[in-house]
Structure formats: structure tokens, C-alpha cells
Amino acid sequence: MLQNIRDNAQGVIAKVIVGLIVMTFAFFGVESIVGGLSGEPEVASVNGEPITKSQFERKFERNRLQAIAGMGENYDPSKIDENKLRKTTLDEFITREVQLQAAREAGFAVSDATINNFITQWPMAQKDGKYDNNQFMEALRRIGMRPMEFRKELSDELLVGQLQSGIAQTSFVIGEELNELLRMERQTRSFSYYRLNAEDVAKDIEISDAEAEEYYNSNKDEFILPERIIVNYIELTRDALVGRAEVSDEEVSERYEQEKKEFLPSEQRRASHILIETSDDVSDEQALAKAQEVEQKLKDGGDFAALAKEFSSDLGSANDGGDLGYAQKGAFVEPFEEKLFSMNVGDISEPVKTEYGYHIIKLNDVKAVEMPSLEESKDRIVKELQEQKADSLFVEVNAKLKDITYTADDLAGPAGELGLTVQTSEPFSREGGQGIFSGPQVVQEAFSADVIEDGHNSQVIDLGREGSLVLRKKELLPSVPQQFAEVKEAIKQKLAVQKAKDTLAAKSEEMVAQLKSGDLAPVSKGADGQQTGWVELNDARRSQAGAADIARLAFKLPKPEEGKPVIEKFETNFGYAVIVLNEVKDNTEDLSEAEQKTYRTFMASRNGQREYNDYNEKIQDAAEIERL
């Protein structure tokens, strides 16, 4: 229960926030997020606090890159509605500023120690399970941020997280809500099912050439290859320019000295503890007495890890001998931390009282987090500076690419002059192709009159952080009908599956009628045919492993009356399924206190999120917001 005391110290939502931060940071630019210069143009204000144009543009670029990343391998920035995204970005910015102001007014704050601890516990800043400053700086390099920028955004996220947690944790659950949740979560159903698979039946259905050709002749519009184009193109990427960026030793030294100024030395301590918890059933006096009993066992030579496994209420750490791992100041509740950081390695404390009960603490190790040497940091810094220079170089080369290709009669000349390569695409239609040729902006340029009719180079197409692209028609392939021989087998397969489904629809109707008449023998004896036989599932849940699709259908059926199963057929992706539902159990009786607490906590969290959403809506309505 208390394995993560450090999580509770700053609110239960904190670790979730860090995960979100890690994801969103990956799309920040390299400029400061702290704010703009005095007098800078504004796009909005919240209660008199300005949101500057540069702040907005950085957040917009982050959101745009997030959208691109979400497209996967076939990304295409041209698919993004930038006007809609700009509106969404400004709304997000305003919402966050209102939340930050509300959190500060409510007295919430985030200490440097807390931020330091989150950084040292951040997986991307660790090497071999321990904080490593080189690893941290490398992580920041990849996400395009400096340490102070990272700390500022982390502080804001944690601040809003405290506000959200403070509101959400005040929520409570009424009995009927809990009962409904229990019915949903714990209900099981016992049923038998029979799969009728169309593809299995289709294997034995023969479609003649004449049938296929008749379908082809009646549906020729289905079998036309659209107009397609093959293009030559030049793709300019930042990665391709990294190797051109030169970095001097002097530049490396300057960056290292700057990092030294921003580096915060710290100490981490590895502790184990034995917790004797106070509760409704265990008074403070009883917990203290038990803790003192354990303390005496330790003084008599007892093994700390063994006693932790036997006596500690913190089940999460007890199995590890009470080990809580390494942590910095700010990680634990104050009495625990105060004692821990006053101890020497090997010391075992007397019982220490906190809001959770009594802890016996053992200090296992102390280590300093020190600034790596210049030699240790050099490769990382060189790579970081090269990538930053590649950004500047990209702007320069991209501008030249626009100038040269605008008037050039081909792409070979510009490519040679800029040290780039001309590539050739696969054919693609107006519906798009693969990779960078899947999006509307690239397709629109490729099929523009300027390219396909006049034979000019396209405009240079912006691909966002991924780079840019310019293309030129190599060959235009006209729309042509596919010959029957090309599509015959596909038509036969399609017709066979359709016939199989028609057959199975009738068969499933017959099965349901037979079963509803009272003849349930097929369920126990199995059924003839190519399909899978009857399968019986007892006490199945909604997400039943191996049959989740069938279970979802079974949970749609009404509860059967005593001795009267509910029988129904369903059309499915694979064909049809016949289900005989025999029994439904709610399983809400005889829940242990621990199980009820778990469900109440879940429901309270869900209700708390609703309450926070309502609160957020109210503070947004009350704020003086001006969009400029």
C-alpha cells in the first residue's frame, strides 16, 4: 500500500503527469518556454496575463508535430487542418493558463526538491537503473529542450496536477453507483456457442468462370485502374544535413560551461522500511507497540529484510525486504524524510510516526549525483550542436531549393548543386500512394496542371519537422479498365464468400429454430459441417480470452429465466454465431473489505474526474479571457 509513499507526497496523479510530459515534450522546439520579451505581440490574455505570439507558435508547432507522429509511417502533414489546429491550440493554451492561475491562488506550489526527484526518477534520464546526467542531457537533446525549460514545464504540469488531485480526492461514492459498477465488472455468464465461418464454407463452393464473368460485366465500374502518376522527386531532411554541420572544440567547451551553470548537484539515499500501519482496526498505541516489538527484534540481531517481509504493512516493498530504492529530498513525507537524511549508512531508526503509521527505517546507501566531465559529455554535446546547426542549415538549403527548382527544367541540376539525390516514386493515384505520397498536399501538387500539363517542377512542399519535398512528372499513366483475367480469381473469392454467408444465414436460422423447440441435443453432441463445433464456456467475463468477440455478443442477451436458456444468432465478421445463454451471475455477494475498497477507490476516482471537469468549466467561465 505504501510502496510509493513518494508518489502520495505530491498527489496521486503526479506520476501519470510525468508520463504525459515525457510524451508531449517530444514535440517542443528549442526556444525557451518561459515567455516572450516585453512588448512582444500577443494572441490572447487570461485575467490580464498575456499569451504571446511566440509562445503560441511554439505550442502550435508542438501540437502539429504530435498530430504528424500520430499518423504513423504513412504520415502526411498536408492532411492536417491547420486553421482548426490553431483554434484548438489556443483553446488549450488558455485552459492551461486558467488552471495554473487557479492552482497558484489555491496555494499549491512545487518545490525544487520535488522537481529534482522527478527528474532523477525519470526513466529516460536513467542508465542501468540509476540517474545519469549524460543520459538526462541526451534525453533533452532528443526532445529539443534545455534543462531550465524542462523544469519550468514540469513545474507547471505538477502544479495543475496538485489542483486536479486535490479536487478529485474529495469525491465519494453512493451505494447504488458501487452496486452498478460491481455488476458490470464482476458479472459472469455461462453459455455455449457455435461459429459458422464463411471462409471455411467458401472453400468448398465452386464459382464458374461464367458466373465470375457475368459479375465482371455487370460491375465493370469496380474494376478500373484510376489515372496514376510516377514522379521524380528531391526530399530534403534535417537528418541528411547533420553530417555537414561542423562543431569546434571551442563550441563544445562553451556548451559544457553553460550546462555546468544549470546543473544542480544532489544526493540520493537508498532506504528500506518496515511500516506498522494505523487504521480503524489498529490504534496509534497498538501500532507503536508493534513497531517497538519489531525494533527490539532488530536490536536482538534480527534480519531487517526478513522482518520486513513478516511484519511490514507496505506489501509493495515488504516482498523486497522493505527496499524503497534511491530517492532525493522531496520524495517522502516530512517526518520520514527528516529522519532518513539525518542517518548514516547502516543506521536503523527508532519508530518514526507519519500519517501512515510507524516506520522503522534503514539507510542502505548514499550516492552523489555529480556533473559528468567534459570528456564524458563531448560526444553528446557534439551531436546536439550538429543537430541544432542542421536546423539552421535546413532553412538555408530549403530556401535555395525553392529558388533553384522554381526556374529549373529538371531536378538533376538542383540536386547536383545542393548535394542531394533525385529519387523515383511508385505509381500513385489521386487517392494517394505510400509514405510521403499518401497525403492530399503532395497528391494535389503532383496532379496540378502546372506539373502534369505544363511539365514544371512542383512547389517545394513543407513536410514539417520531417523536411520538404519537390517533385516533377516522370510519367502519367491513364485510367484503364482491368481485364477480366486480372480480376477473375478475386471475383470468384468474393462470390464464394457471399454464397457461403447466404448458406450460413439459413443454417443459423434452422439451428435457432431447432434449439428453441427444446431440442438441445446438438449443443452437447456437436454439429456436422465444416465449421467449428459447439464450445462451452462457464463463468465467462466480457473480455474472455480467446473468445472476446463471442463474449461481447453473449453479454448483450437478456438474463435467462430458470431452466429456460436464451438462444440467438448474430451476424459476425467471420459469418454467423449461434449462442445459447444458460446462466448469469452478478457475483456481488461476499466481497471482502479490501475488494470493496478497491472498487470504491476506482469509482471515487472516476467521480472525482467528473467533479474536476465541472470545476474546470466553472473557472474557465469566470476567467476574463480576451482573444486578440
Domains in the chain: boundaries: 5-173+607-627, 188-223+484-585, 227-243+383-478, 266-369
Contact in structure between 44 and 626 (CB atoms under 8 Å): yes
Range name among 413-422, 511-520, 541-550, 559-568 with the lowest pLDDT average: 541-550
Q: E strand or H helix at 322, and its extent?
A: none
pLDDT for the residue numbered 74: 61
Task: Tell me the pLDDT tens digit for each residue of 468-483.
Answer: 999 999 999 999 999 9
Contact in structure between 31 and 58 (CB atoms under 8 Å): yes
Q: Say how many CA atoms lie within 13 Å of 524 toward its Cβ.
A: 3
* Whole-number average pLDDT of the chain: 82
- CATH class (in words) of the domain with range 5-173+607-627: mainly alpha
**Does the structure show a pLDDT above 80 at 607?**
no
Amino acid present at 142: R
**Does the structure show a pLDDT above 50 at 4?**
no
Amino acid present at 379: D
623: region left, alpha or beta (phi > 0 left; psi from -120 to 50 alpha): beta
Q: Residues 6 or more apart from 215 whose CB is under 8 A from it?
A: 491, 494, 495
pLDDT tier for residue 32 given thresholds of 50, 70 and 90: very low
What crossing angle do the helices spanning 249-262 and 147-168 adopt, rounded to 10°? 30
The percent of residues in the chain predicted with pLDDT above 90, rounded, is 34
Quote the radius of gyration of the chain (alpha carbons, Å).
33
**Does the structure show a pLDDT above 90 at 39?**
no
pLDDT for the residue numbered 17: 38
**Does the structure show a pLDDT above 50 at 36?**
no
How many residues comprise the chain? Answer: 628
User: What CATH number should be reported for the domain whose range is 227-243+383-478?
Assistant: 3.10.50
* CA angle in degrees (0–180, nearest 5) for 20-22-24: 70
**Does the structure show a pLDDT above 80 at 93?**
yes
Q: 520538404: which residue's cell?
A: 468
Task: Tell me the pLDDT tens digit for each residue of 141-170.
Answer: 766 666 777 888 888 888 888 888 777 666
pTM for the model: 0.45
pLDDT for the residue numbered 12: 35
Does domain 266-369 bear CATH number 3.20.20.100?
A: no
Whether the domain at 5-173+607-627 and the domain at 227-243+383-478 fall into the same CATH topology = no
Contact in structure between 317 and 5 (CB atoms under 8 Å): no
Select from 471, 491, 374, 489 the least CA-distant residue to 424.
471
Beta bridge partners of 280: none
Select from 40, 20, 23 the least CA-distant residue to 31.
40
> What does the alpha-carbon distance between residue 97 and residue 344 come to, in Å, rounded to a whole number?
44
Q: What is the DSSP string of 515-573?
A: HHTT--HHHHH---SSS---EEEEEE-TT-TT-HHHHHHHTTSPPPBTTB-EEEEEE-S
Task: Tell me the pLDDT tens digit for each residue of 408-441.
Answer: 999 999 999 999 999 999 999 988 888 889 878 8
pLDDT for the residue numbered 276: 92
Q: Which residues of 234-244 are buried (b: 16+ CB within 10 A; e: fewer)?
A: bbbbbebbbee
SS3 351: coil
Q: Residue 294, Cβ neighbours under 10 Å: how many?
A: 21
Grid coordinates representing 70 are 500520430
pLDDT for the residue numbered 166: 76
> What does the alpha-carbon distance between residue 36 and residue 44 come to, in Å, rounded to a whole number?
13
pLDDT for the residue numbered 400: 94
Select from 372, 363, 317 the least CA-distant residue to 125.
372
Range name among 135-144, 385-394, 524-533 with the lowest pLDDT average: 524-533
Range name among 4-13, 70-79, 323-332, 538-547 with the lowest pLDDT average: 4-13
* CA angle in degrees (0–180, nearest 5) for 614-4-366: 135
Q: Residue 457, Cβ neighbours under 10 Å: how many?
A: 24
Question: Could you tell me whether strands 323-327 and 575-585 are parallel, antiparallel, or unpaired per DSSP bridges?
Answer: unpaired
Counting DSSP H helices and E strands in the chain, the numbers are 24, 20
Q: What is the mean pLDDT of residues 7-19?
A: 38
